[in-house]
A and B are shown apart, each in its own frame.
Chain A
Amino acid sequence: MTPVLEGIGALLDPTILLCLVIGTLLGTLVGAVPGITATMAVALAAGFTLTLEPLQGLAVLLSIYVAAQFGDRVPAILINTPGTPASIATTFDGYPMAKAGRAGVALTSSALVSAVGSLAGILILIFLAQPIAGIALRFGPIEMFALVAFGMTMMVGVSGGRIVKGLAAGALGLLLGAVGRDPISGEQRFTLGIPELSSGVPFIAVIVGVFGLAEVFNQIVEARSGRAAKPIEQLGRWWPDRAERRSLVKPAGIGAGVGAVVGVVPAAGGDIAGIIAWDQARRASKHPERFGKGSLEGVAAPDTASTATMGGSVTTTLAIGVPGDSVMAAMLGSMIVWGLTPGPALFVQNPDLVFSIATIMVVATVAALGLSLVRMQGVVNLLKLPLNTLAVVIITFCMVGTFAVQNSVFDVIVMLVMGVVGLGMRRWGFPAGPLVLGLILGPLAESNLRRALLIDGPFAVLGSPIASVLIALSVLALVAPHLLRILKGRSAARARSTADAP
């Protein structure tokens, strides 16, 4: 009980409340502005929060993380552009609802189920973090390698159906991850004599480049070719009626379940959870035919799921030290700087921290929900900023934020280069997610595998039940969808042939 009280008590400092308010406002804002993702906002803010106390900094970063998942629904519903990748699936039914004049109901319902999802995820953090931490000390190098390998199979999932292009982007990320000093021998690899590259390609600069800057570049290109989406004028009724509220329950439940599981899986975040939940809710719905044409259920499921991933992602990050999603990957860096190195040791050294983090997330959820309901119409106005103004503001923030991470002009150059690379990827349909996954997970996989080989020799995997299971799951994750498709194809063919027979 003591760590619970200590963890919550540590937050009574009024400066932490102030940090929470700032983070919630910032998060809602950046979420609502397409182009600035929660990952990028957290990475940018990290440059400025490093000098704060750890709890103050965590209050800012976590509340940005939470609040961005409320703000990003607004442009997804109103202009068919997800504010952050977590609301990709929100566009499927949110935008059709807005076109049908039901934007108000869609926005309010989305905020309500997002809060439900967030709280469900936090329950996972509170109740499962300790058991996960308990087994976490058994995660040596070989188990970590197996876990990271499992995380890398998600490259297929985040490719959004473009598997070859997704894997190509992932391979580029792995190559970038190979730059730097060899983790075991210390020899130079592809450093080109540049001292900054000794510690590897700066991944925050890459994330800001391929997500933030590339999105701005892309919008500029689209605006010039006259293809920018027009906002909706008619918002309609705001509060859902009783029948609508009742129809939210089932998809929200499905969403919370999917989100909780996907959240715990390393490197899988709200975007994947949203898409899976949308699909599951469609299968379970009484009106699957309405999905994709303005179904309120189709908004509720992905929005619950993407917010429910947050608790799970935080749990994985804290307990095992492997980022639960890309936002947590950015936050991981700050935590290490604060001396709160995520991983088994954290739970031994700072058990109260889990409860501090859970409390910060609960307060941020409530604050973001309140802000969403009260200021929704104000946030809508932000989108009316002309693109030329918005682009300059975003690019400036990208450069200042990237420089601030380690006072390095080199990092800014990397960000600009990756912005152009990211634009090229976008124009030719290569997803950016796998690239960042490769860059972050590649070095983790390599160094842990090589440590394991030093410790246990070439058959290290066989000696560890956890590693064996994880490697088997990784193989299954890659093979199962194909097997299922083949089996389905066969049974469909059989069904057709039996139907044709008489």
Chain B
Amino acid sequence: MSRTRTRPVLAVAALGAAAALVLSGCVSRDGGGADADAAFPTGTITMFTPTQAGGATDLTARTLASEMESILDTSIVVENRPGGAGSVGMQHLAGLSADGHAIAVLPVEVSMLGHLDYEIDPADYDFLGQVNAQPGTIAVPASSPYETLDDLLAAAEEAPGSITVSNAGAGSIWETGAKALGAEAGVEFQGVPFDGGAPAVTAAIGGQVDAVVASVAEVAPAHDDGRLRVLAVFMEERAPVLPDVPTATEQGQDVVIGSWAAIAAPTGLADDVKATLEAAISEAVESEAYVSFVEDAGNIPQYRDAAEATEFVLAEHERFGALLAG
């Protein structure tokens, strides 16, 4: 008897509790809606990298994340999704919801992979800012007979395909860099793709190839201690870590090419969320910790805001389409 009598009481109590919950829920949601700018970020932000932990892109992400954590007053977790030349992580990001809590550091490959038979399109991402530049170089072994870029190009012109140039791998930015130089100078190199930048540079130090195209950061130490001779850097001005090396442009070859990284989110971010992230990135990029991290590695802490970065990535995408088709 007592059990049947208590039931309605319980039911009423439960109903009341539910109503209270619903009401309080509405109230808090209204409060949030009225001040959306302050609401973002509402939780942990995940910053993906399409690369292994410990590499240059990963370290860039970790350094920026720790700066942005204090700027945005939230925790930022760096998560690595390597594989498929970066396409696995990029596709993962493109499939996440565009609420600003999923962002990624995307390297130059985002503008290249689409031309190399991967399903990657820069239009799938909202770019929030470029965070660095890693200019390309061409270098020869210390014992090489080629003293200047002209010497090397003359040799390549004399016997097309006889000059071997190592690079970081098939479809890498440095394979494309050698192609870009060849196209500009009207000569043909024999590209030799290695499995990463370090073995490609080692092959040049050991004299197995005639030259290597790699980033400033990868060749500067060997240039400084005389194991390699950098003939040209592929940027508008001379590289700060290689002040004695002329640019390709100075030597009459208009080649400006290199790797870079940008922060991106899945396309369709709300304007206020985008503005908050963009501001946080621009502040983080100027922090002392980040600038010294980039410069110590031999790279350039080059920043472009969201609009400039988007324009830049699309321009790179178009340029690589022409270079990679050839």
Which of B88, B118, B171, B192 has a CB less than 8 Å from the CB of A196? B88
In the assembled complex, A130 has its CB within 8 A of some CB on chain B: no
Instruction: Enumerate chain A residues within 8 angstroms of B196, measured Cβ to Cβ.
Output: 336, 341
Bound Cα distance from A408 to B80, whole angstroms: 10
For residue A188, which residue of chain B has the nearest CB? B117
CB proximity of A450 to chain B, nearest CB, Å? 9
In the assembled complex, B91 has its CB within 8 A of some CB on chain A: yes
In the assembled complex, B87 has its CB within 8 A of some CB on chain A: yes
Interface residue ranges of A34-87 to B (CB < 8 Å): 50-51
Instruction: Enumerate chain B residues within 8 angstroms of A182, measured Cβ to Cβ.
Output: 170
Interface-side segment among B198-206, B230-238, B258-266: B198-206
The answer to whether B192 and A345 touch across the interface, beta carbons within 8 angstroms, is no
Which of A140, A184, A188, A407 has a CB less than 8 Å from the CB of B206? A140
The answer to whether A196 and B208 touch across the interface, beta carbons within 8 angstroms, is no
For residue A141, which residue of chain B has the nearest CB? B208
For residue B117, which residue of chain A has the nearest CB? A188
CB proximity of A328 to chain B, nearest CB, Å? 17
Instruction: Enumerate chain A residues within 8 angstroms of B55, measured Cβ to Cβ.
Output: 337, 339
CB proximity of A361 to chain B, nearest CB, Å? 23
Of listed B117, B119, B198, B202, residue having the most chain A CB within 10 A: B202
In the assembled complex, B240 has its CB within 8 A of some CB on chain A: no
For residue B52, which residue of chain A has the nearest CB? A337
In the assembled complex, B190 has its CB within 8 A of some CB on chain A: yes
For residue A338, which residue of chain B has the nearest CB? B54
Interface residue ranges of B98-146 to A (CB < 8 Å): 116-119
Which of B53, B81, B85 has a CB less than 8 Å from the CB of A198? B85
The answer to whether B199 and A343 touch across the interface, beta carbons within 8 angstroms, is yes
Bound Cα distance from A10 to B256, whole angstroms: 41
The answer to whether B83 and A408 touch across the interface, beta carbons within 8 angstroms, is yes
Q: Mark B48-81, 1 if CB is under 8 A from A, else 0.
A: 0000111100000000000000000000000111
CB proximity of B254 to chain A, nearest CB, Å? 27
Instruction: Enumerate chain B residues within 8 angstroms of A339, measured Cβ to Cβ.
Output: 54-55
The answer to whether B202 and A343 touch across the interface, beta carbons within 8 angstroms, is yes
The answer to whether B203 and A141 touch across the interface, beta carbons within 8 angstroms, is yes
Instruction: Enumerate chain A residues within 8 angstroms of B91, measured Cβ to Cβ.
Output: 195
The answer to whether A341 and B84 touch across the interface, beta carbons within 8 angstroms, is no
Which of A50, A186, A202, A407 has a CB less than 8 Å from the CB of B81? A407
The answer to whether A337 and B53 touch across the interface, beta carbons within 8 angstroms, is yes
The answer to whether B170 and A196 touch across the interface, beta carbons within 8 angstroms, is no
Bound Cα distance from A429 to B255, whole angstroms: 59
In the assembled complex, A138 has its CB within 8 A of some CB on chain B: yes
In the assembled complex, A181 has its CB within 8 A of some CB on chain B: yes
Which of A195, A197, A455 has a CB less than 8 Å from the CB of B192? A455
Instruction: Enumerate chain A residues within 8 angstroms of B202, measured Cβ to Cβ.
Output: 137, 343-345
Interface residue ranges of A396-421 to B (CB < 8 Å): 406-408, 410
The answer to whether B206 and A186 touch across the interface, beta carbons within 8 angstroms, is no
In the assembled complex, B41 has its CB within 8 A of some CB on chain A: no
Which of A337, A345, A348, A447 has a CB less than 8 Å from the CB of B195? A447
In the assembled complex, B209 has its CB within 8 A of some CB on chain A: yes
The answer to whether B201 and A198 touch across the interface, beta carbons within 8 angstroms, is no
Bound Cα distance from A184 to B88, whole angstroms: 21
Q: Given A186-B170, A195-B91, decide whether A406 and B85 contact each other with a Cβ distance below 8 A.
A: no
Q: Mark B179-194, 1 if CB is under 8 A from A, else 0.
A: 0000000000011111
The answer to whether A184 and B193 touch across the interface, beta carbons within 8 angstroms, is yes
The answer to whether A199 and B164 touch across the interface, beta carbons within 8 angstroms, is no
Instruction: Enumerate chain B residues within 8 angstroms of A408, measured Cβ to Cβ.
Output: 81, 83, 88
CB proximity of A43 to chain B, nearest CB, Å? 15
CB proximity of B221 to chain A, nearest CB, Å? 8
CB proximity of A403 to chain B, nearest CB, Å? 12
CB proximity of A197 to chain B, nearest CB, Å? 8
CB proximity of A63 to chain B, nearest CB, Å? 20
Bound Cα distance from A408 to B192, whole angstroms: 31
Bound Cα distance from A198 to B85, whole angstroms: 7
Instruction: Enumerate chain B residues within 8 angstroms of A451, measured Cβ to Cβ.
Output: 192-194
In the assembled complex, A454 has its CB within 8 A of some CB on chain B: yes
Instruction: Enumerate chain B residues within 8 angstroms of A497, measured Cβ to Cβ.
Output: none
Q: Given A195-B88, A344-B206, decide whether A406 and B195 contact each other with a Cβ distance below 8 A.
A: no
For residue A333, which residue of chain B has the nearest CB? B52
Instruction: Enumerate chain B residues within 8 angstroms of A187, measured Cβ to Cβ.
Output: 117
Q: Mark A441-463, 1 if CB is under 8 A from B, else 0.
A: 00000010001001100000000
Interface residue ranges of A166-209 to B (CB < 8 Å): 181-188, 195-199, 202
The answer to whether A195 and B84 touch across the interface, beta carbons within 8 angstroms, is yes
Of listed B116, B169, B170, residue having the most chain A CB within 10 A: B170
Bound Cα distance from A451 to B194, whole angstroms: 8
In the assembled complex, B301 has its CB within 8 A of some CB on chain A: no
Bound Cα distance from A199 to B208, whole angstroms: 26
Bound Cα distance from A181 to B203, whole angstroms: 22
Q: Given A337-B54, A406-B52, decide whether A183 and B195 contact each other with a Cβ distance below 8 A.
A: yes
CB proximity of B208 to chain A, nearest CB, Å? 3
Bound Cα distance from A25 to B201, whole angstroms: 39
Instruction: Enumerate chain B residues within 8 angstroms of A455, measured Cβ to Cβ.
Output: 164, 190, 192, 208-209
Which of A184, A199, A348 has a CB less than 8 Å from the CB of B85? A199
Interface residue ranges of B144-162 to A (CB < 8 Å): none
The answer to whether A140 and B208 touch across the interface, beta carbons within 8 angstroms, is yes
Q: Given A181-B171, A196-B83, A407-B79, decide whether A345 and B205 contact each other with a Cβ distance below 8 A.
A: yes
Instruction: Enumerate chain A residues within 8 angstroms of B81, measured Cβ to Cβ.
Output: 406-408
In the assembled complex, B321 has its CB within 8 A of some CB on chain A: no
Instruction: Enumerate chain B residues within 8 angstroms of A321, measured Cβ to Cβ.
Output: 199
Instruction: Enumerate chain A residues within 8 angstroms of B199, measured Cβ to Cβ.
Output: 321, 341, 343, 345
The answer to whether A184 and B170 touch across the interface, beta carbons within 8 angstroms, is yes
Beyond A181-B170, A451-B192, A455-B190, 19 extra complex contacts between A and B, CB < 8 Å:
A181-B171, A183-B193, A183-B195, A188-B117, A195-B87, A195-B119, A197-B84, A198-B84, A198-B87, A198-B88, A199-B83, A339-B55, A341-B198, A344-B202, A345-B201, A348-B227, A408-B88, A447-B195, A454-B192
Q: 10 nearest interchain CB pairs?
A: A186-B170, A140-B208, A198-B84, A195-B84, A337-B54, A186-B171, A345-B202, A50-B53, A137-B206, A341-B198
What would be 23 A-B contacts, judged by CB atoms less than 8 Å apart? A50-B53, A51-B53, A141-B192, A141-B208, A183-B170, A184-B170, A184-B193, A185-B170, A186-B116, A186-B193, A188-B117, A195-B118, A199-B85, A321-B199, A337-B53, A343-B198, A343-B199, A345-B199, A345-B202, A406-B81, A407-B79, A454-B192, A455-B209
- Name B residues whose Cβ lies closer than 8 Å to a Cβ of A: 52-55, 79-85, 87-88, 91, 116-119, 164, 169-171, 190-196, 198-199, 201-203, 205-206, 208-209, 221, 227
- Name A residues whose Cβ lies closer than 8 Å to a Cβ of B: 50-51, 137-141, 181-188, 195-199, 202, 321, 336-339, 341, 343-345, 348-349, 406-408, 410, 447, 451, 454-455
